[in-house]
């Protein structure tokens, strides 16, 4: 990321931060509704990955002294989450959303910043595929992860 | 060229300014000639698009999935959606590059792909290896792509990574 990047970079990074924070919140909800140990371990690993990305983003935004809005205390879920199928659906939804946020960072970054955004996009897309397999959803993949539908 | 200028100085007594002018003019014209010869000649085929290797691999992978599905009908249901992703990539990349699709046989990536009679496990492993390699190609292209192409190539790189995961 450049030392004095244009404001649009910050906007996209702040959007990515918001997506990561929403994901962390969502995995709290997801975890409650996953009875199986394997599912729960998968959710915990995913949540930790989002916490790591959030920490990196906060550090980067603070380095460039961009002000970040505080994360909301709670979120309105896109659909009711009451059982394992709806919890897995939320996990897929969240990873697709995170992939979209990072994809939007690609055109406004170069070099290391873009490499990092691509890595975040790829990791989210892979987790979405794992959740689809866990949930028995097909197809397992999207042709263009993160592209607006 | 420098020697010629010196001879001119001795022989005619031109002022330094005049000689420099001649030298500059000479350099200028040879630079223009250089442009014509090396950079923008209409007869010279243009350099391949940086996304051409990404497109070539998409074509090769789509064909490799088709062959694997033909050789292992039991895998067809699993492989067909992945092949469809590659076809979507081919369509987008062809549109962006503005060229035509070369045949799958042109790419080396297809040479080791599974055919009829290959064990299912081996077929999946070979496709996974090809996807990982193709993911690296797309990731490299994404890093150096202009902004207008970065998201498309990034999505293709990510998609190839999810294919490797889906083949596990």
B58 CB-contact burial (10 Å; exposed 0-12 / middle 13-18 / buried 19+)? buried
Is residue A26 in some structural domain?
Answer: yes
Residue among A114, A139, A145 minimizing CB distance to B158? A145
| Residue B150 belongs to domain with CATH number | 1.20.1260
Query: B34 and B101 in one domain?
Result: no
B118 CB-contact burial (10 Å; exposed 0-12 / middle 13-18 / buried 19+)? middle
Q: Closest approach of chain B CAs to the CA of A125, in angstroms?
A: 6
Q: Which domain holds residue B13?
A: 2-39
Q: Which domain holds residue A73?
A: 7-135
Q: Does A128 touch chain B (CB under 8 A)?
A: yes
Is residue B46 in some structural domain?
Answer: no
Q: Does B158 touch chain A (CB under 8 A)?
A: yes
pTM of the model: 0.81
Is residue A37 in some structural domain?
Answer: yes
Query: B84 and B127 in one domain?
Result: yes
- The count of CB pairs under 8 A between chains A and B is 87
Is residue B11 in some structural domain?
Answer: yes
What's the domain count of chain B? 2
Rounded distance, CA B47 to CA B18, Å?
A: 41
Contacts of residue B154 in chain A, CB cutoff 8 Å? 103, 106, 117-118, 121, 146
* Structure confidence by residue, pLDDT tens digits, B36-74: 444 444 555 678 999 999 999 999 999 999 999 999 999
Residue among B82, B155, B165 minimizing CB distance to A146? B155
Query: B96 and B65 in one domain?
Result: yes
Residues A122 and B157: beta-carbon distance below 8 Å: yes
A17 CB-contact burial (10 Å; exposed 0-12 / middle 13-18 / buried 19+)? buried
Is residue A148 in some structural domain?
Answer: no
Query: B135 and B94 in one domain?
Result: yes
| Residue A40 belongs to domain with CATH number | 1.20.1260.10
At residue B46, the pLDDT reads 76
Q: Does B156 touch chain A (CB under 8 A)?
A: yes
Is residue A145 in some structural domain?
Answer: no
Alpha carbon B13 to chain centroid, angstroms: 56
Is residue B47 in some structural domain?
Answer: no
Is residue B44 in some structural domain?
Answer: no
Contacts of residue A46 in chain B, CB cutoff 8 Å? none
What's the domain count of chain A? 1
Query: B33 and B56 in one domain?
Result: no
* Structure confidence by residue, pLDDT tens digits, A95-131: 999 999 999 999 999 999 999 999 999 999 999 999 9
Query: B126 and B56 in one domain?
Result: yes
Q: Does A103 touch chain B (CB under 8 A)?
A: yes
* Structure confidence by residue, pLDDT tens digits, A7-65: 789 999 999 999 999 999 999 999 999 999 999 999 999 999 999 999 999 999 998 87
B29-33, B99-103, B144-148: which has the minimum mean pLDDT?
A: B29-33
Rounded distance, CA B161 to CA B157, Å?
A: 6
The residue ranking higher by pLDDT, A71 or B167, is B167
Residues A13 and A57: beta-carbon distance below 8 Å: yes
Is residue B45 in some structural domain?
Answer: no
Is residue A1 in some structural domain?
Answer: no
At residue A70, the pLDDT reads 86
At residue B6, the pLDDT reads 34
* Structure confidence by residue, pLDDT tens digits, A70-87: 888 889 999 999 999 999
Is residue A86 in some structural domain?
Answer: yes
Residue A139: asked if its preceding bond is cis (omega within 30°), the reply is yes
């Amino acid at each position: 990321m450049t030392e004095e990047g244009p404001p649009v970079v910050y906007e996209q990074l702040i959007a990515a931060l918001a997506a990561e924070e929403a994901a962390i919140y969502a995995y709290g909800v997801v975890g409650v509704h996953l009875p199986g140990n394997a599912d729960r371990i998968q959710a915990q690993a995913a949540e930790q990955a989002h916490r790591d990305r959030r920490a990196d983003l906060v550090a980067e935004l603070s380095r460039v002294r961009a002000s970040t809005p505080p994360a909301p205390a709670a979120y309105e879920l896109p659909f009711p989450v009451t059982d394992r199928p709806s919890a897995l659906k939320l996990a897929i939804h969240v990873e697709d959303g995170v992939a979209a946020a990072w994809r939007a960072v690609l055109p406004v970054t170069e070099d290391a910043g873009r490499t990092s955004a691509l890595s975040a996009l790829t990791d989210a897309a892979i987790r979405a595929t794992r959740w689809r397999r866990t949930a028995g959803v097909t197809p397992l993949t999207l042709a263009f992860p993160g592209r607006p539908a | 060229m420098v020697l010629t200028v010196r001879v001119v100085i001795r022989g005619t007594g031109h002022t330094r300014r005049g000689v420099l002018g001649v030298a500059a003019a000479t350099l200028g014209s040879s630079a223009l000639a250089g442009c014509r010869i090396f950079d923008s000649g209409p007869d010279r085929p243009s350099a391949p698009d940086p996304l051409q290797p990404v497109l070539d691999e998409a074509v090769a992978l789509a064909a490799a999935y088709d062959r694997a599905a033909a050789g292992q009908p039991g895998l067809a249901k699993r492989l067909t959606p992945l092949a469809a992703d590659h076809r979507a990539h081919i369509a987008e990349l062809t549109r962006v590059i503005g060229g035509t699709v070369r045949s799958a046989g042109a790419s080396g990536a297809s040479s080791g792909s599974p055919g009829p009679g290959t064990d299912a496990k081996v077929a999946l492993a070979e496709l996974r290896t090809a996807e990982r390699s193709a993911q690296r190609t797309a990731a490299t292209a994404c890093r150096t792509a202009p902004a207008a192409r970065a998201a498309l190539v990034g999505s293709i790189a990510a998609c190839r990574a999810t294919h490797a995961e889906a083949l596990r």
